[in-house]
Each structure stands twice: as C-alpha cells, then as structure tokens.
Amino acid sequence: MDKEIYNFINILNNYLSYSEENYNKMPSYLHNVVKNNLHFFKKECMLLTKKQSEIVIAQLNGNLEYVEPYKHLCRLYKIDTLLHTDNVGGIAYIYLQHIINNYENLANITLFTHDNFSKTYKPFPIELYLLPKKFTFFFSNLWSKGFENNQMLESKYYKWWDEYIRKDIPNLNNILWSKGSIFSISKELILQNPLSYYKYLAEFLENDTNSVKNALFFEKSWYYIFDKGEGHDLKLVKKYT
C-alpha cells in the first residue's frame, strides 16, 4: 500500500470509530480528503488478495452492486440455506459459521456485512473497512448507544448476556453498537476467543428459536464479544463446552 494512504487511514481511525460525534468533529479537510481520494482507496483495494482482506456477506434478496469491484474478495452465504436464516437471526449465525469453518485459515482482515449495505446504517465507504490499519483490530461505525431507556429490553439483555455471552457485561447506558452488524476485524482479534466459544454461540442459535431477539442482541454485542477491539490475551469469565 502507498505509504501516504496507509498513514492517512491511521489518522482517520481517531475520528471514524466510536461515535458519530467524533466523526462530525473530524476536520473538514479530512472529510474532503476521504471524498476526493476514494479512487486511490479503490485502487489499493483492487490489489488486495482474499488472504489479506475477505468480505463475508450474508445475502437474502438485497443488492450486491456495492461489492462488484471487489468480488474477488467476496464469500457469499445465502441466508435461506442455513439454519435460522429465513429471518434476521441468520446474520449472526452466518458470521459464526464462517469463523468456525475457517478458524485456522482466516484472512488478515474480514469484513462482516450483508446485502443491505445502505445509508440506513451509515456505513463508511467499504474501502475503509478493507484496508489494513495499524493498531486497529476492530473497525466499525459504533454510533449507536445504549437501549434508549427501554428497561424491559435491558432486563432481557442482562439475562441473555449472562446465559450466553458470559463475559464482563458493559454498562448498558453506554454500550456502543453498529446498526446492521457491519464491521471489519483482524484475524488476531478473532483468534483471541477459542474456537469452542464460537461453537458454543452457534449451538445456542441452533437451539433458540427467538431469532428477532437474538439478532437485536447480537447486533449490540459484537464489539464486546471481540473485547472492544483490544489486542490483549483473552480472559474468559466462564468456560465453554
């Protein structure tokens, strides 16, 4: 990758992740640089191999034009061909199955997404997810926060988290999540969780029919399942069998 582009992507990390407020505070010249240099980012992404960056797509009936330039990086999973995938709960199951089946052969960076990569979810340009970033292991538009004072939903989430996620639960008033479960993640960060953990979560989805609840709760949990993107040794709260 061109050194200037690489350095620029690293500068952007301070603004692009964690909050829409941070993004809006990004100096105008950086906004313009992103807009005016997307063709350079596209060029760099065209040179990527599937071993460097892979796009994992959970597809229902949406439009895939947004990945057309990078179809050489794509792995497509049809939502209606996997368990629980006749509904939105299938996205989490597909992500987990990909990790389980490729645990020993993951790309350096994996973009997990679906065929509704629309402005509704306010995603970044796809190129920013694919390009390598120094010291950034989890990249996402974490612009949603909390449960909007829905105490009943919070109570259900506490129980769900304790039963299935089994890590230190975040403060629900400040929990950060990305609408649409769109994020890219490094291989190293995925491997911090043992394979048995992902199998455990997938088995839970296989046996829990409340797919709408699971889709909502997993959407709010990916950042924390992957330890807030921190590159340190994982400390599990409980054992998974």
Residue 238 lies in a domain: no
Residue 235 lies in a domain: no
Q: Tell me the pLDDT tens digit for each residue of 10-50.
A: 555 555 544 555 555 555 555 566 666 677 788 888 999 99
- pLDDT at 191 > cutoff 50: yes
- pLDDT at 105 > cutoff 90: yes
Q: Which helix (H) or strand (E) holds 160?
A: helix 151-160
**Domains held by the chain: number:** 1
Residue 78 lies in a domain: yes
Residue 109 lies in a domain: yes
Which domain range does residue 93 map to?
3-228
Residue 234 lies in a domain: no
Confidence band of 96 (pLDDT split at 50, 70, 90): very high
182, 66 contact by CB (below 8 A): no
b/e burial code for range 87-114 (CB count within 10 A of at least 16 → b): ebbbbbbbbbbbbeebbeebbebbbbbb
Residue 49 lies in a domain: yes
Residue 31 lies in a domain: yes
Please state, in angstroms and rounded to a whole number, the distance separating the CA atoms of residues 167 and 159: 12
Residue 177 lies in a domain: yes
